[in-house]
Structure 1
């Protein structure tokens, strides 16, 4: 019989929203496995509250495979790929080096899908795989430009996730792309509308409300649908 305790894998939990989500799900009684790429004291301190902390780099296939091996006997109700980067996103596209564009696109749009391919068979029936997207990834909402390479990477993540969902059309798990709002993190910067706790609580509410669903959705932290 399946343990009624829910288990989340939070990928990219060293700080900001990943750390906030880890704290939120722990408080809600979930079992949480959380990853970081390098040492992260804030995350590691949550081990005392029951978090299992693992190391992986989603841009490194061998690192992801090693994580899969270490978690060989584990299954999850939620896999949430939070990891992402900024790369000179305050500059226009033509002013950013090609190598920076390549890294942003790899980390934000490609590696999350490769991680999902490596781990989706670890989801329980009715589980959820979620990707941290952004309202900036909505092509329909892009009327002002700005944040060009980051915006493009999140739009690419959205379309890659749609392809992932289509490729797994017979799946028994849901696929979510989630916009956390404008959050006061190192990435979000000053003047943001939300603190981490509010955004993380909203995202957790959305995920818990959709448990058991197997459709694809692009939603914000309030559960409102965003245009692709």
Structure 2
């Protein structure tokens, strides 16, 4: 990740919640930020106006390979110091025996397959020494799965982590820092109103980790404090 004052980041999934706060925090620190949203307008567009050109908004439905290819074309010539994929859905607390096949497919495509498709489509924009990161969760840790509930969501995050491990193995020599980030349990649409953390509390710590890990080799699964999350 560059130490110049013109660092540039692409945040996939910044319509609201953690992604929106991440884009704003990076812009506040002087990064030039490209933030994708599924729909035009909304909070990200307002944030772009407020940041006086530091924040640019692009439209993207991440589950669409065609839209990913179109975004890659629009960003031709961009050099990124950070590519961060933030996207996840949750369809409730059902035991896996009650999860319809359509729901299973939807969650796995959104939470596991599509983030890796995004990385593969856009990794060529990341500068040597840049960082490729994905928003994961402690819920994806198999060794910490000692309490019941949210089986599909946990499985999707474990699948994401495994696919990221495969990605890191396949691209071991590309010189990119690779991170899976657990931001903690936040009060977002996904995390619910009773979560202990606000994104405005956790995301500055996440950005501290991203900046501190710049240039680190290999793949790491870290929490917002920079501590290793067990697989």
1:218 aligns to what SS in structure 2? strand
Contact 1:15-1:43 within 8 A present in 2 as well? yes
2:120 maps to which residue?
Answer: 117
2:210 maps to which residue?
Answer: 207
Q: How does 1:52-71 map to 2 (within 5 A)?
A: 52-71=56-75
Q: Structure 1 residue aligned with 2:151, among 137, 148, 152?
A: 148
Distance 1:4 1:27 in 2: 12
Contact 1:87-1:101 within 8 A present in 2 as well? no
| Residue 190 (structure 1) aligned with residue 200 (structure 2) | no
1:13 maps to which residue?
Answer: 14
Normalised by the length of structure 1, the TM-score is 0.96
Distance 2:28 2:208 in 1: 13
2:224 maps to which residue?
Answer: 221
Distance 2:133 2:192 in 1: 24
C-alpha RMSD of the superposition = 1.1
Q: How does 1:79-98 map to 2 (within 5 A)?
A: 79-88=83-92, 90-98=93-101
Aligned length: 226
Contact 1:125-1:212 within 8 A present in 2 as well? no
Distance 2:9 2:199 in 1: 18
Distance 2:103 2:190 in 1: 16
Normalised by the length of structure 2, the TM-score is 0.95
Contact 2:184-2:223 within 8 A present in 1 as well? yes
CA offset at residue 46 of structure 1?
1.5
CA offset at residue 221 of structure 1?
0.7
CA offset at residue 193 of structure 1?
1.3
Q: Structure 2 residue aligned with 1:169, among 166, 169, 172?
A: 172
Q: Structure 1 residue aligned with 2:141, among 128, 138, 141?
A: 138
Distance 2:5 2:217 in 1: 20
1:171 aligns to what SS in structure 2? coil
CA offset at residue 214 of structure 1?
2.6
